[in-house]
């Protein structure tokens, strides 16, 4: 198994872009393009509300941290978590200190009794819905926490801003495999330095990079930068 160095870590948020569209991940990471639209502005606002409040909340069996920096040398990813909750496990739930996979079932928290389990929560704009990239990005955060703390993280949630509701996500083997595979493909894509060709699909209409990518126009060329250079040269 390849273990990445600190210099090789890529932004964890690229997992979501890659699973939405490989070209979008390449435009962001390889070509350095980004443009806010309604979706990302509202999403950023939600994140800012999370980032602005850096206090540690403490309520009974719950501790809430915001803006925790995460990394995984196995996935080659790093990024900031919106929220990581720590849930105190009931004594009845702790039948053994280790899971069958050899991870701790919970970790101690300073000044509190018992053991606690991390529970990542990612903030998203809009209505409650399933998106492969959202789940994989959250799972990548769980894998980071497991690697950093040596503790099992079996579950997390995506919080949707409009209905103010959570979608619980179980980090099963299928999702973990998909997430690891996405991280591997992301490193291959960025390592290649090549932006995949544009291909217009329905999802392009909600893409934050639509006006820069121009999939209906640039379909025959791989790079937005090269396309613009060609237009300017013409």
Cβ 27 to ligand SF4, closest distance in Å?
6
Distance CA 69, CA 106 (A): 19
Instruction: Say what the alpha-carbon torsion angle 89, 63, 78, 31 is, to the nearest 10 degrees.
Output: 130
Token reading at 59: 């309520």
Cβ 213 to ligand SF4, closest distance in Å?
3
Contact 183, 77 (CB under 8 A): yes
Q: Which residue lies nearer to ligand SF4 by CB, 67 or 215?
A: 215
Q: Which residue lies nearer to ligand SF4 by CB, 161 or 215?
A: 215
What is the chain's length? 234
Cβ 70 to ligand SF4, closest distance in Å?
26
Q: Which residue lies nearer to ligand SF4 by CB, 166 or 194?
A: 194
Q: Which residue lies nearer to ligand SF4 by CB, 32 or 102?
A: 32
Binding site for ligand SF4 (CB under 6 A): 21, 23-24, 27, 198-199, 203-204, 207, 209-210, 213, 215
Closest listed residue to residue 152, CA positions, set 97, 80, 72: 97
Closest listed residue to residue 170, CA positions, set 184, 186, 158, 161: 158
Cβ 35 to ligand SF4, closest distance in Å?
11
Give the 3-state secondary structure of residue 62: strand
The bridge status of strand 10-11 relative to strand 77-80 is parallel
Q: Which residue lies nearer to ligand SF4 by CB, 23 or 187?
A: 23
Cβ 211 to ligand SF4, closest distance in Å?
9
């Amino acid at each position: 198994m390849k273990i990445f160095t600190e210099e090789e870590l890529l932004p964890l948020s690229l997992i979501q872009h890659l699973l939405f569209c490989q070209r979008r991940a390449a435009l962001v990471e390889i070509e350095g393009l980004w443009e806010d639209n309604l979706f990302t502005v509202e999403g950023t606002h939600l994140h800012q509300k999370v980032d602005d409040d850096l206090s540690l909340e403490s309520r009974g069996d719950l501790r809430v941290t915001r803006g925790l920096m995460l990394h995984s040398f196995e996935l080659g990813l790093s990024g900031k978590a919106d929220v990581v909750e720590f849930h105190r496990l009931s004594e009845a739930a702790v039948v053994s200190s280790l899971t069958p996979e050899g991870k701790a079932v919970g970790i101690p928290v300073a000044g509190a009794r018992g053991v606690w389990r991390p529970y990542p929560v990612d903030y998203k704009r809009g209505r409650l819905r399933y998106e492969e990239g959202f789940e994989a990005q959250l799972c990548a955060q769980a894998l980071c926490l497991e690697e950093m703390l040596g503790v099992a993280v079996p579950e997390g949630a995506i919080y949707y801003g409009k209905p103010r509701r959570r979608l619980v996500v179980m980090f099963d083997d299928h999702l973990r495999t998909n997430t690891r595979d996405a991280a591997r493909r992301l490193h291959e894509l960025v390592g290649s330095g090549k932006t995949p060709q544009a291909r217009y699909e329905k999802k392009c209409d909600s893409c934050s990079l639509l006006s820069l990518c121009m999939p209906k126009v640039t379909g025959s060329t791989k790079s937005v930068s090269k396309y613009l250079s060609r237009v300017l040269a013409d």
